[in-house]
Amino acid sequence: MEFVIVTGLSGAGKTRAMHAMEDIGFFCVDNLPPALIPVFYDLCLKSEGPRNRAAVVTDTRGGELFKSFFTALETLKRDKKPYKILFLDSADGVLVNRFQETRRKHPLADEMGGALEQAVKLEREMLKPVKECSDYVIDTSGVSPAQLKSRITELFLSSAQDSLSVHCISFGFKFGIPMEADLVFDVRCLPNPFYDENLRPLTGLDAPVRDYVMEKEETQGFVSRFTDLVDYLLPLYSKEGKSQLVIAVGCTGGHHRSVALAQYMCDHLTEKGVKASVTHRDMQKF
């Protein structure tokens, strides 16, 4: 059975993630205390017409009950029941804005005397060890609901669940580095099509910009080393049991150079038979 534990920061999009997983065939339960996760796992295995895909959402809404999270994981490991952990993250400022917009109360607000920003920081510190042991991390700071659903689908709709998947992200440094990135490449050193007035309104997905970037001698030297490094690292990450590798490629605004090179890397990996996907996070921002 494919079993996914969804957790992460309050306001980061766990409910949307759960809905996306339901859409691709997962049987989902929200706000389940960790101590009941092994029980729910057994119920799914023993139910009439066995469920082959199940997911639970568990987080700090459980209060003291959430402290049994790692005990529940140890129980699953002891009983040789495989699982994956999906962690939803987002920048502190984004989380604060989301709570202010929805006027919902943060689960840890009372512990911090109602101070929202302090509650967010406390929860981040509490969940740090959970994030570190997660198989998948998605930063939803600049991600639309449609993009999040697409990422969930890419991660869990494939049948090759045991293989390493690679997700490439193009971004603009002025909008911040993606928090879920394992590898970050700065391509601001490469020739910039922004200074060509004919290319400025286009993106790295448009042929004129792509050709401008990729045909430069500096880019060709970078690409050769870029692909060699990633090709070398993938088997090493797979050997260590890593499920997902996130490669972030950044330029100044996230419109031109980073888009062309992140797309190139995704296409390169796909041609080699690697399960790869790409998101151009800041391409539409102006």
Q: Confirm whether residue 61 is marked as ligand binding.
A: yes
Q: Confirm whether residue 9 is marked as ligand binding.
A: yes
Q: Confirm whether residue 10 is marked as ligand binding.
A: yes
123: closest CA among 134, 138, 112, 139? 112
Q: Confirm whether residue 15 is marked as ligand binding.
A: yes
Cα radius of gyration (the chain): 20
Q: Confirm whether residue 113 is marked as ligand binding.
A: no
- Please check whether residue 111 is in contact with residue 251, taking contact to mean a CB–CB distance below 8 angstroms: no
| DSSP secondary structure letter of residue 201 | T
Instruction: Report which residue type is found at 84.
Output: K
226 Cβ partners below 8 Å, 6+ apart? Answer: 185, 261, 265
Q: Confirm whether residue 13 is marked as ligand binding.
A: yes
Number of Cβ atoms within 10 Å of the Cβ of 254: 27
Q: What is the rounded CA–CA span in Å between residue 193 and residue 202?
A: 9
Q: Confirm whether residue 63 is marked as ligand binding.
A: no
12: closest CA among 162, 169, 130? 130
273: closest CA among 168, 126, 166? 166
Q: Confirm whether residue 11 is marked as ligand binding.
A: yes
Q: Confirm whether residue 62 is marked as ligand binding.
A: yes
Residues annotated in a binding site for ATP: 8-15
Instruction: List the binding residues for GTP.
Output: 59-62
Annotation: binding site: 8-15, 59-62
